[in-house]
Structure 1
Amino acid sequence: MHFVVMGVSGSGKSTVARQAAERLGLPFSEADGFHPAENIAKMSAGVPLTDEDRRPWLAALADWIAEHERRAEPTVMACSALRRRYRDVLRTGAPDVRFIHLHGSREVLARRLADRSGHFMPPALLDSQLATLEPLEGGEDGVTLDISSAAEVLVERVVGIIGARPGSVPDSSG
């Protein structure tokens, strides 16, 4: 089982996914770390990525999932996964990929982005991301969580979701 904590920039996906993975002792990946330098330069300049820009990035993420699938290791990834077709690419890495969509109002997201420092994604791209976002649809394995809760509460909810999934967390009883 592989879990992708998804959402637009500022939703808290990296924080929540990283902390949940640490709590559960699962491999974690930050999808932003897979972007080629050209993508980061575009986003840093306030230029939205195209589907063509995203293609090799998504393929590398699916490969990361597949690598862990071959080792029978459940994983947690933080990734925007804004469109269904992007999520479909991620699903090519393993037969069982589940999405946890962190969703919130534009106002909450904008406030979070304004308070954030040291990230290449400028707040100016929020509207582009919101326009691109396709919420989870019927037939997609996943849940949507409201980000109005504190990060600690969201981490607890995500840990519960991952831990409740049969076979999703390695047995640590011995």
Structure 2
Amino acid sequence: MSANAARTTDVVVVMGVAGTGKTTVGELLARELGVTYAEADAFHPPANVAKMSSGTPLDDADRAPWLDAIGAWAHGREGLGGVVSCSALKRSYRDRLRAAAPGLFFVHLTGDRELIGERMRQRTDHFMPTALLDSQFATLEPLQPDERGAPVRVDADEHTVTARAAEAVRAHAREQSARGAEYAASARA
């Protein structure tokens, strides 16, 4: 944990299409916030990995047990804090995660198709082929105003992106703290 890190009790989902750096930023963000990190890919059953490795996109039925496992992990981290990387491309997926862990905060890593495609072409250690990137962008439903979260551009190095993500999480925590103080003051009045 860095010297200026402030531990959070929020569970943060680092979301976005493949190639945005969810794992790298997620690991760095967890370290910065002083919490546990989980890689969503580790929650996939072997059949899902085989399907994606062959270039076949997952459908919602494939994703359901995966999302439930991530949600269960997040639920177990409530009050302790944690960071998990998860594409969470559709609102319905994020709703499913929130059903298990209502206090989730989403950091949506964003970038244009050209930038993300180039990043994917440079990596060699991942089962998700570049051919599936278009399906990911087609599926993506950005965060809505009523969802707790913030978009973070990935047009910089991983440390800058992580700093942006950490500031978004901290800004949210400050806002929640201020709301809690206002509520407590009004309850005493």
Task: Measure, in 1, the Cα distance between the counterparts of 2:101 and 2:64.
Answer: 18
The answer on 1:152 being equivalent to 2:159 is yes
Matched, 1:62 2:71: yes
Q: Secondary structure in 1 aligned to 2:38?
A: strand
Q: Per-residue CA shift, 1:124-170, capped at 9, x if unaligned?
A: 100010111001112111111111122110111122222341489xx
Unaligned runs of 5+ in 2: 1-9, 178-189
Identical pairs, percent? 47
Which amino acid in 2 is paired with 1:81? A
Equivalent position of 1:171 in the other structure: none
2:104 equivalent to 1:73: no
- Determine the structure 2 residue equivalent to 1:16: 25
Which residue matches 1:32? 41
Structure 1 unmatched runs, 5+? 169-174
Correspondence for 2:62: 53
With the length of structure 2 as denominator, give the TM-score of the two structures: 0.84
> May I ask how many residue pairs the two structures share in their alignment?
166
- Report deviation, 1:36: 0.3
Give the corresponding residue for 2:4.
none
Measure, in 2, the Cα distance between the counterparts of 1:142 and 1:162.
8
CA distance in 1, matches of 2:81, 2:169: 10
Cross-structure match for 1:82: 89
One-letter code of the match for 2:76? E
2:16 counterpart residue number: 7
TM-score where L is the length of structure 1: 0.91
Which structure ranks higher in relative contact order (CA pairs < 8 Å, sequence separation ≥ 6)?
Answer: 1
Partner secondary structure for residue 92 of structure 1: helix
User: Per-residue deviation at 1:109?
Assistant: 0.6
Aligned residue among 135, 143, 146 for 1:128: 135
Match for 1:157: what amino acid? R
Distance in 1 (alpha carbons) for counterparts of 2:42 and 2:30: 17
CA distance in structure 1 between the partners assigned to 2:106 and 2:150 by the alignment: 6
The structure that is helix-richer by fraction is 2
Q: State the one-letter code of the partner of 1:66.
A: H
Cα offset, 1:68, TM superposition? 1.4
Aligned-partner Cα distance in 1 for 2:154–2:33: 21
Decide which structure has the larger Cα Rg and report it: 2
**Structure 2 Cα separation of the partners of residues 50 and 95 of structure 1:** 24
Deviates more, 1:55-64 or 1:92-101: 92-101
1:94-117 superposed Cα distances (whole Å, 9 cap, x missing partner): 221111101111000110000001
How many angstroms does 1:16 deviate by? 0.6
